[in-house]
Amino acid sequence: MILHTLLSYEFLRVVWWLLLGVLLVGFAVMDGFDLGTGMLLPFAGRNDLERRVIINSVGPVWEGNQVWLILGGGAIFAAWPQLYAVSFSGFYVAMFAILVALILRPVAFKFRSKREDAAWRGRWDAALFIGGFVPSLICGVAMGNVLQGVPFRFGTDMHIYYDGTFFGLLNPFALVCGLVSVAMLAMHGAAWLQLKTEGAVADRARSYGSIAALLTVALYAVAGFLLWKFVDGYRVTSSLPPDGPSNPLLKTVETHAGAWFTNYAAHPVLYVVPGLGLAGALLAFIGFRARAELMTLLASALGIAGIILSVGVSMFPFILPSSADPRASLTAFDSSSSHLTLFIMLAVTAIFIPIIVAYTGWIYHVLRGKVDRDAIREERGHAY
């Protein structure tokens, strides 16, 4: 009986909804400090040596951190094909901007120190800043648009049509969500720099991190208020069998003020999730002031996890609402891959995710400790 439940279509759909959240959190936490470090590079580093220290704090690990981005994209493609089709087509320009910014990072890492010229290095520093700021902002903007609903619909042949524009994504609520993302990842980057550097760089990281942590709390609270007061949520008004066919058009949906807070009202314990977002950022602020390096980084990661997961908790069972045709909204129970596909993917994930986590942990153990300024100054090893 228990085995039958664990292998049921309903259970696998919920598991993959949870795993999607885990992968998003994994990307934000693991690659987030890379992005935050890039945003802080022009401010925490005041001369060439300090900026090289900052770059070398993430240089050995940034490529491995992007595994979580690849895993997230692969999971969406395989487990939620309609979500993949809508998001990667409708947000095409936004996705392209993120990819260009992410491509700038490895190029800047490799080419910055090829010449001694200050102007040359300054241009690559600007590229690293863009590579951190643009993905942070656009990912937050995308999340804000998801909460408002995305203008897509299905034709009679289930062909997907996207009726929006890139600049339509840049609405006030989405931009506030973008600023939340920028602030929390800058906080996370500062926490990383506090852990991995020392001296003036670490002191500046603590100052900027403290500001970013307070901004994260304030902006997240503002976004929550705007969501409650001005953004209509979505709710299913017909039956939605959790083991039904993957056809979004078989249900009816309506928009309703405050609908995104229905889950919290039904299960008050869920308020713990956004509470963790606020508490994590506040604890990170305390950690910056107390110079508690590891605690600050863990608190920052906790805050990021709470903020991201609060969106999923608010929207469940919706994954991507449609503002053009609410009935076409994608949910966890009508837009997944087949039962067999989800089962095979779960079995593969159960094998490889622990391996990835163990390998990542080992790498960070090997690379523990502060970045050596003298080694960078003397060009020992393979410093950037």
Angstrom distances, CA of residue 318 to CA of 73, 268, 331, 332, 352: 18, 19, 4, 6, 28
Is residue 225 included in any domain, yes or no? yes
Going from the C-alpha of 346 to that of each of 349, 351, 353, the distances in angstroms are 5, 9, 10
SS3 of residue 157 by DSSP:
coil
5 located within any domain: no
User: CB-based contacts of 201: which residues, under 8 Å, 6+ apart?
Assistant: 44, 45, 50, 53, 54, 193
Helices assigned H by DSSP within the chain: 2-6, 9-30, 32-44, 48-58, 62-65, 67-79, 81-90, 92-111, 118-148, 172-196, 200-230, 262-266, 272-290, 293-315, 339-366, 373-377
What CA dihedral angle connects 66, 68, 74 and 75, to 10 degrees? -170
For 3-37, what is each residue's pLDDT tens digit? 656 689 999 999 999 999 999 999 999 999 999 99
Residue with tokens 């034709």: 155
pLDDT confidence of residue 197 = 93
Instruction: Classify 111 as helix, strand or coil.
Output: helix
* Tokens representing residue 50 in the block: 């300090």
Parent domain of 128: 25-377
Residue 116 gets which letter from DSSP? Answer: -
Show pLDDT as tens, one digit a residue, over the chain (384 residues): 566 566 899 999 999 999 999 999 999 999 999 999 999 999 999 999 999 999 999 988 888 888 888 888 888 888 999 998 888 877 888 889 999 998 988 899 889 888 888 899 999 999 999 999 999 999 999 999 999 999 999 988 888 888 888 888 889 999 999 999 999 999 999 999 999 999 999 999 999 999 999 999 999 999 999 999 999 999 999 999 998 899 999 999 999 999 999 999 999 999 999 999 999 999 999 999 999 999 999 999 999 999 999 999 999 999 999 999 999 999 999 999 999 999 999 999 889 889 988 988 998 888 888 888 777 777 655 667
Q: Does 4 map to a domain?
A: no
In a domain, 82, yes or no: yes
Q: Quick check: 329 and 234 in contact, CB under 8 A?
A: yes
pLDDT value at residue 317 = 95
Whether the pTM exceeds 0.85: the reply is yes
Own/partner pairs for 3-10, CB < 8 Å, 24+ apart? 7/343, 8/243, 9/242, 9/243, 9/339, 9/342, 10/242, 10/243, 10/333
Domain count, the chain: 1
Q: Is residue 251 part of a domain?
A: yes
Does 202 map to a domain?
Answer: yes
Question: Does a structural domain hold residue 97?
Answer: yes
